[in-house]
Structure 1
Amino acid sequence: MVGKHLKTPLLLISIAAPLVLSGCQDSHAEVTQSAPPAPGVEVAEVLVETITELDEYTGRLESPQTVSVIPRVSGYVEQVHFEEGTMVEEGDVLFSIDDRAFVAEVARLEAELSSAKASYNQSIKDHQRALKLNKNNAISQETVDARFTAKQRSAASVAAIKASLSQAKLDLAFTQVTAPITGKVSRADITKGNYVSAGNTQLTTLVSTAHMYAYFDVDEVTFLKYQKLNKLKAGEGYAKQLVQLGLANDAAYPRVGHIDFVDNAINQATGTIRVRAVFDNKDQSLWPGMFAKLRITGSSSYEGMLIDNRAVGTDLNNKYVLVLDDNNIVQYRAVSLGEKLNGLRIVADGLLPGDKVVVNGLQRVRANMPVTPSEVSMANELTLSMLRDQQDLIDQQRQSLTTAALNEKG
């Protein structure tokens, strides 16, 4: 009886053991099959190009000279001689004021001057005659002195009338109101037949257009950077700070100028300093008041590293990228970034040439995760072409400024 009872448990154990083993194997297989594959990401090698850092500002164009044309004599406007909104040369007659009263005044003073000169000549003769008579005791010394005084008074009268005549001739000349500078004239504020007051009535305005100014404000840190950069540039043979200009309808910055003025103090309220750039305007395409997009070279040219902005992630206040190692595992790398250039970001620190970073799929992976990489270019051919063309243009513009500076030193 006892033997029968022992055989039954042994039989159950022998049957259950293979079932348990089989169950373990099936469970392991399920775990193996459920492990996810390494996610696919696009990676690109860090781009190394010759670049120049650029700082962007906005401002308004201003004319170097803006003149209000105001008459120096009073009278009625007789004629307007210019076409409104056109270029005029310095000295061109803009307005004529009725000059009849001024002509008459000149004529009157000329007649007075002739009379005064005659009186003066007579006083000279009288004085000389008195001197001769006095030698023979024919007249007293008192008479001689009186005639000398009369001569002096006549001379003073001639001088006074000459001065009045000079002023009258000036007033007559001022009836022809001329352009004080070469530039573009505005509309006529006063038209024919209106009375104008000397030193008071504005007739029109003029702006010089050969050059244009653009004023903008630079923060203190950037200003210090420019100061340091200009010292380096002076050693390289050019000291003028390059400024590129684009108008409201310009996609690029086709015009070039340079900084020609920096204010003498930093505004303590804003922490900025006023800076001015000057641009040549021979083609007359720049007008005062135009919106100006300004781009300033913030560095010398150097071999810099660039990455697609899509590759950059944000971790709290830090910027980072995921770098692919030799085992196709992505590694966290904190980076210090510079300005944007044609959609790419300058990498100041954190990467090395040859590093490959994740540019697409960043949200699907995390540090120390294996990935299935697919290598792509960091930038397309159009972006690279634009980047290189921009650098070539900067180099050409710098050379142009250098040549101009050397010619000025002559």
Structure 2
Amino acid sequence: MRKFVFMLLMLWGIPSLANAQSAQPAVAIPVGVVAAERKSVTKSQDFVGRVEAVERVEVKARITGYLDKVTFKEGDLIKEGTPLYSIEKGLFEAAVGQAEGALEKDKAAKTLSEIQLQRAEELFAKGSGTQVARDQALAADETARGSLLIDEANLQTARINLGYTEIVSPIAGKVGRTSITKGNVVSPQTGPLTVIVSQDPMYVTFPVSQREFLRAQQSGKNVDVTGFKVSLLFADGSPYKHAGKINFIDVTVDRSTDTVLARASFPNPDFALIDGQLVRVGLEGGAPEEKIVVPQAALISDQEGVYVFVASDGKAAVRRIKPGAAVGSGVVAEQGLTAGEQVIVEGIQGLRPGVAVRPTLLPPTPDRS
């Protein structure tokens, strides 16, 4: 009987012991935190842009003839006036000689007509000649003068065509590949022989939505877009090291996209920007505003949106935020946080609301906002 009572007491004691163990406080999880702080933030926007050469020339033949030489190397950086192509000159030199001969012949005819006109006027003044004879001599002299003008124009045209046999670069820049080779007949209908694009500086054009323009107008401030800081990111995410400056806003809206085309100019001393290249354009400007900034490493997303964990009274708590623009490695929290709250950035894995945490304030680093 005593043994039975003892066993009952033991059974009753087991749940009491389990309850006692569960009542013990849970071990606090160590986490790293940073204080949500207010920073002076400049408004920024991202756009997709396209690199365009300031000067772009399609080189074409201006006369018809056999291509005698190709005098450049494809892809070379060339100066203005660099020879590119040479067209066979023989026929054009002959045309110049023919025009010169016609001019000399008509010069002699003009000399003769002047002499005949002078004699006819002298005879008419003495009463020995007739007015008809004088008028005929005057008309012949005027005809000779007209012939001279035609001959001089023909000679000038022939010399211009002879000059067109040497095709030179009208601008400085990089020359593309040649579309035609020596021995072929070229003409104005042949199309571009090659393309030359200037290199430094370069333009970047990007469309800006009407929404952004309306937002700027509703702010009631005169926005000087030329003072905006413009930056570039390449397709692989690497930044372009030179800053640009907006120098043109189009005067019309694209009806198909409801956007206005903006253009920025960038120095390109290393030729890193290539005509036609697709880039990401970052635009920063306007008066700085005080905003709460949190590290991107603290952001967590779910079906309801974006949130962060904060250490509050020794426990993890959720703060739903409205993320804004990126600021370095941080993000602006438009709503949901107050300055000074301890945002958890390390040890987030496995955290749940209400879990005990032991926060350690992390020192600020260049990579943590």
TM (normalized to structure 2)? 0.82
- Comparing 156-165 with 43-52, greater Cα deviation is found at 43-52
- Comparing 81-90 with 299-308, greater Cα deviation is found at 299-308
- Asked if 2 retains the 8 angstrom alpha-carbon contact of 1:219 and 1:271, the reply is yes
Aligned to 2:5: none
Label 1:196 to 1:311 Cα distance change in 2 as closer, same or farther (>3 A).
closer
Aligned to 2:8: none
Give yes or no for the alignment of 1:347 onto 2:333: yes
Aligned to 1:336: 322
Give yes or no for the alignment of 1:381 onto 2:355: no
- Asked if 1 retains the 8 angstrom alpha-carbon contact of 2:227 and 2:285, the reply is no
- Provide the alpha-carbon RMSD of the alignment: 3.4
Aligned to 2:120: 130
SS in 2 for 1:83: coil
- Comparing 245-254 with 177-186, greater Cα deviation is found at 245-254
- Asked if 2 retains the 8 angstrom alpha-carbon contact of 1:231 and 1:239, the reply is no
Aligned to 1:196: 186
Q: Provide the rounded CA distance (Å) in 1 between the counterparts of 2:157 and 2:342.
A: 83
Q: Provide the rounded CA distance (Å) in 2 between the counterparts of 1:315 and 1:84.
A: 54
- Asked if 2 retains the 8 angstrom alpha-carbon contact of 1:41 and 1:358, the reply is no
One of 173, 191, 213 as aligned partner of 1:183: 173
- Comparing 342-351 with 327-336, greater Cα deviation is found at 327-336
Give yes or no for the alignment of 1:212 onto 2:199: no
In structure 2, runs of 5+ residues without a counterpart are 1-11
Give yes or no for the alignment of 1:246 onto 2:233: yes
Aligned to 2:90: 100
1:20-169 aligned at under 5 Å gives the runs: 34-35=22-23, 37=25, 40=29, 42=31, 43-169=33-159
Aligned to 1:275: 262
1:280-319 aligned at under 5 Å gives the runs: 280-297=267-284, 299-312=286-299, 317=304, 319=306
Q: Provide the rounded CA distance (Å) in 1 between the counterparts of 2:73 and 2:156.
A: 32
- Asked if 1 retains the 8 angstrom alpha-carbon contact of 2:226 and 2:245, the reply is no
Per-residue deviation, 1:103: 1.2
Per-residue deviation, 1:100: 1.4
Q: Provide the rounded CA distance (Å) in 1 between the counterparts of 2:69 and 2:302.
A: 74
1:216-231 aligned at under 5 Å gives the runs: 216-225=206-215
Per-residue deviation, 1:226: 6.0
Q: Provide the rounded CA distance (Å) in 1 between the counterparts of 2:24 and 2:54.
A: 69
- Asked if 1 retains the 8 angstrom alpha-carbon contact of 2:246 and 2:264, the reply is yes
SS in 2 for 1:288: coil
- Asked if 1 retains the 8 angstrom alpha-carbon contact of 2:316 and 2:357, the reply is no
Query: Residue 280 of structure 2 aligns to which amino acid in structure 1?
Result: K
Query: Residue 327 of structure 2 aligns to which amino acid in structure 1?
Result: L
SS in 1 for 2:244: strand
Aligned to 1:20: none
SS in 2 for 1:210: coil
TM (normalized to structure 1)? 0.74
Q: CA deviation digits over 1:279-338, x for unaligned, max 9?
A: 11122232223342332215544553211345445686554555555x546666553321
Q: Provide the rounded CA distance (Å) in 2 between the counterparts of 1:155 and 1:54.
A: 71
Q: Count residues in correspondence.
A: 357
Query: Residue 344 of structure 1 aligns to which amino acid in structure 2?
Result: G
- Asked if 1 retains the 8 angstrom alpha-carbon contact of 2:206 and 2:262, the reply is yes
SS in 2 for 1:124: helix
